[in-house]
Chain A
């Protein structure tokens, strides 16, 4: 009886998650009356705005990942090595983007960095892009920091650092050749989550008026019937591909295999 109940709950859960996806995919294939077709996908892929916004978001995601790695890896390394007592404070700070809504953060940015401020980032396209990238990095901080911190906990950071130091290595060499390669799987996990976040982010890009994929999704949703669902399916595929890549990287990481 207990087993039956467990199966029933599992089935209910699966239905709850899968049914909307099935419905959405089914609807995205129903553009042509009476038969399933890829017309909605064709229409989306033929739209130059799709290419423009998708390309823009991909570039922003890559830049955000690079910035996030450069910010988070040294920070998490230093906290673990030299200031473990500050770990709760750093963890709290990295969690703030989950508590403060993106709209509040972006209004804060606009207020701080508008054209009449001491650092008028919103005055130029480059400045606004930079601000958006920093905003994305802030949004992905909880995931990137946790992934890197977890990776660092799996290696003996202190001893490896001391071993490298005794062999003549400075901080840059230690981070680049010893620490980063050993937490690469964790960094990539954080990177893929960051990629997924940036690809779907709407609020910051819309309020900073940048041609990102998120606002394009919203625009399509407001004006078209089938295309938004095709876009949503594409967005899901991108997210799942990222998740799949995390699994693949973990599996094929040569030096992290268990000892034989």
Chain B
């Protein structure tokens, strides 16, 4: 059952249309990420759900009730900000209990809920500290506990991991997801980091120029990108311009060779794409072979990233490092294998 519904949402700042006809339905307990580059409108959508921005048009409903006319403090929404936004004058416990105090919850109940929340985020002994006495990761955990304490209907996360260092980011994203699953709270997560979006979400909305380009599971977004933008933005991609030889059989001529896609294609030229992990050194066991000359070999430890010039296009691919197989040398001519089914046909 749909819990959060966003219909035909629009937002303009003066002449700039920042969000254009945005639609999204989120199930109860679902974790949905809004993924996109800076300026794509993802934060604006989140802020409209929170009530900090008024939509120019459209409807936002939570549990069937239209909330567009409600003020932010009337929406029962929890929000975690990129900059933590903990109240510097309050201790950790007072921060976590702030929402409950505002609601007029009895003191004993606040204390119990604060203790529960601090235990949930793994900081049960830090209730008496001030925000300046905590690390970035701890501050963001407290911000999460503060947002969850009043039991909001929806949790909004506005790039909560962006200000943290890489190691803390990875551990905290796992913690956030575990807490979200444990509480079963409907969550919208805004990020520009594809790895975060893919690893944490039930579904991902890829946004581009104010429009939701694609909504799907992380698997669908990565393996079946609906547009050229999605394919380019999510993961690394090799773009290959191809000439269609037989549209009905999907027979194309690529730089370095030919491929039979086995599905109908438009006549003329098409843009194909291949993920680096789909390409293999040597054509053995693959139905498509392309010939190229090695131009770059980057040794990254467990993985070796190689670039090959196919004569008009560059194909990047990864191969695992094994101690008994030597990596190819720059200048060497090699055969690269891939399966035609793994080639994506991109649309604009």
Contacts and interface: CB of A to CB of B under 8 A. Distances in A.
A258 B132 CA distance: 7
A221 B75 CA distance: 64
A167 interface: yes
Given A168-B103, A168-B150, A182 B73 contact: no
A260 B131 CA distance: 11
A259 interface: yes
Nearest to B132: A259
A163 B87 contact: yes
B189 interface: no
Contact of B73 (A159, A165, A259): A165
Interface size class of B (residues with CB under 8 A): 20 to 34
A170 B102 CA distance: 9
Interface in B67-120: 71-74, 76-79, 81, 83, 85-90, 98-99, 102-103
Nearest to B51: A165
Interface in A169-216: 169-170, 173, 177-178, 181-182, 184
B157 to A, nearest CB: 12
Name, among B73, B146, B147, the residue most crowded by chain A CB atoms within 10 Å (CB to CB): B73
Given A182-B87, A255-B88, A259-B132, A167 B99 contact: yes
A2 interface: no
Contacts of A177: 87, 98
Contacts of A169: 73, 98, 102
Nearest to B98: A167
A22 interface: no
Interface in A150-169: 155-156, 159-160, 162-169
A162 B50 contact: yes
B219 interface: no
What is the interface residue range for chain A against chain B? 20 to 34
A163 B89 contact: no
Given A167-B102, A168-B150, A169-B102, A162 B72 contact: yes
Given A162-B50, A165-B72, A166-B77, A173 B85 contact: no
Contact of A182 (B51, B83, B88, B98): B88
A166 B67 CA distance: 14
A182 B88 CA distance: 7
B81 A159 contact: yes
A257 interface: yes
A254 interface: yes
A-B pairs, top 3 by smallest CB distance, nearest first, are A167-B99, A163-B85, A181-B89
Interface of B: 50-52, 71-74, 76-79, 81, 83, 85-90, 98-99, 102-103, 130-133, 143, 146-147, 150, 156
Given A162-B50, A162-B79, A168-B76, 18 more contacts: A159-B83, A159-B85, A162-B85, A163-B79, A165-B52, A165-B71, A166-B73, A166-B147, A167-B99, A167-B150, A168-B73, A169-B98, A169-B102, A173-B102, A178-B89, A182-B87, A254-B130, A259-B132
26 contacts: A159-B81, A159-B83, A162-B50, A162-B52, A162-B85, A163-B81, A163-B86, A163-B143, A163-B146, A164-B87, A164-B98, A165-B51, A166-B77, A167-B78, A167-B102, A167-B147, A168-B103, A169-B73, A169-B102, A177-B87, A177-B98, A182-B88, A255-B89, A255-B131, A256-B88, A257-B132
